[in-house]
């Protein structure tokens, strides 16, 4: 099993950020990626996200996401030009294909596909960052003030799913070693055997749930009002990052409202380097955690201050 991020990126700044600051930062990245489809904006946000990934020392986990994203980008780049007929710079037109009413591949459609692929990569990269730098207990801590029990159920559920998967694999192994081969069975027999293995899995899960409930009960869970151990300090660095991320969110909404940073791919692509002042502002806010992380890693003085 691949060791998850929080154990491998121990000591890095992103891991030590206050969960609220980290979560708002990731939200700001996500929001900017969704609000703007300008290729320059998307390229810049992707660059910032990659820098954050490097700073958070989760590059090796990101590679897994990257493979999937590249595959999906390729699919979008291939499919979008086939279905989009809005571009005016025709690269190739050819055979009549049923349902597609004549194949026309335009430069704009290819670029648009690339931009959407890039957006997908950004979103998945943010998810990779979140997944590998924020501990599930931190998320539980953040949301438990409002909804502790549902948050705990989600937290327990996310932990139990991999265990159920492992149990199901074990059950399938035992079915095999006891002489049953799905491939040699008829549909009804297959269904019956599958039902038996699901029954076994449910039994196991219920037993496991009972044991966890007993352990929780023995540690006074549900015995009355509970307190919360806030182990994450809100430090100056967190405040700066939080302020930067909030500013990015605000500026992005305002910019979007006034039409800054908008971009049209069709019918002809606009000039790519327009509206870069807004982008500079956004980048300044988004780069704060990356720069803070650099200070944390390389400068003892800064580390003591943030």
Shortest spacing between CB 159 and another protein, in angstroms: 6
Which residue's CB is nearer to another protein, number 231 or number 300? 231
Q: Which residues lie across from 90 on neighbouring strands?
A: 106
Shortest spacing between CB 39 and another protein, in angstroms: 37
Binding interface with another protein (CB under 8 A): 1-4, 6-7, 10, 15, 135-137, 140-141, 155-156, 159, 162-163, 167, 170-171, 173-181, 184, 196-197, 199-200, 203-204, 207-208, 211-212, 214-231
Which residue's CB is nearer to another protein, number 3 or number 188? 3
**Is the separation of the CB atoms in 104 and 93 below 8 Å?**
yes
Shortest spacing between CB 75 and another protein, in angstroms: 25
Q: Which residues of 264-295 are buried (b: 16+ CB within 10 A; e: fewer)?
A: ebeeebeeeeebbebbebbbebbbbbbbbbeb
Question: Collapsing DSSP states into helix, strand and coil, what is residue 36?
Answer: coil
Tokens found for residue 119: 């957006």
Which residue's CB is nearer to another protein, number 217 or number 268? 217
Shortest spacing between CB 64 and another protein, in angstroms: 11
Shortest spacing between CB 20 and another protein, in angstroms: 17
Tokens found for residue 45: 């946000």
Q: For residue 105, what is the enclosing H or E element?
A: strand 104-106
Tokens found for residue 73: 């980008």
Which residue's CB is nearer to another protein, number 219 or number 300? 219
d(CA 296, CA 306): 7
Which residue's CB is nearer to another protein, number 96 or number 227? 227
């Amino acid at each position: 099993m691949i060791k998850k991020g929080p154990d491998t990126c121990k000591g890095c700044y992103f891991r030590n950020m206050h969960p609220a600051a980290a979560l708002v930062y990731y939200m700001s990245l996500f929001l900017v990626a969704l609000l703007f489809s300008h290729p320059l904006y998307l390229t810049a946000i992707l660059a910032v996200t990659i820098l954050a990934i490097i700073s958070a020392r989760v590059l090796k986990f990101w590679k897994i996401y990257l493979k999937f994203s590249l595959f999906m980008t390729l699919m979008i780049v291939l499919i979008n030009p086939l279905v989009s007929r809005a571009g005016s710079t025709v690269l190739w037109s050819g055979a009549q294909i049923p349902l597609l009413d004549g194949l026309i591949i335009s430069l704009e459609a290819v670029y648009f596909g690339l931009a959407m692929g890039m957006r997908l990569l950004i979103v998945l990269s943010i998810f990779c960052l979140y997944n590998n730098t924020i501990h599930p207990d931190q998320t539980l801590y953040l949301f438990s003030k409002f909804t502790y029990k549902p948050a705990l159920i989600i937290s327990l559920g996310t932990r139990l799913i991999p265990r159920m998967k492992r149990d199901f694999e074990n059950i399938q192994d035992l079915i095999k070693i006891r002489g049953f081969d799905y491939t040699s069975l008829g549909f009804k027999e297959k269904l019956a055997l599958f039902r038996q293995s699901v029954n076994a899995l449910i039994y196991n899960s219920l037993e496991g749930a009972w044991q966890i409930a007993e352990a929780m009960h023995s540690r006074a869970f549900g015995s009355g009002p509970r307190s919360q151990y806030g182990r994450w300090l809100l430090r100056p660095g967190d405040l700066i990052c939080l302020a930067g991320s909030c500013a990015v969110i605000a500026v992005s909404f305002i910019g979007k409202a006034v039409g800054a940073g908008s971009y049209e791919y069709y019918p002809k692509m606009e000039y790519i380097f327009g509206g870069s002042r807004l982008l500079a502002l956004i980048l300044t806010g988004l780069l704060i955690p990356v720069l803070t992380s650099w200070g944390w890693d390389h400068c003892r003085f800064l580390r003591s201050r943030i």
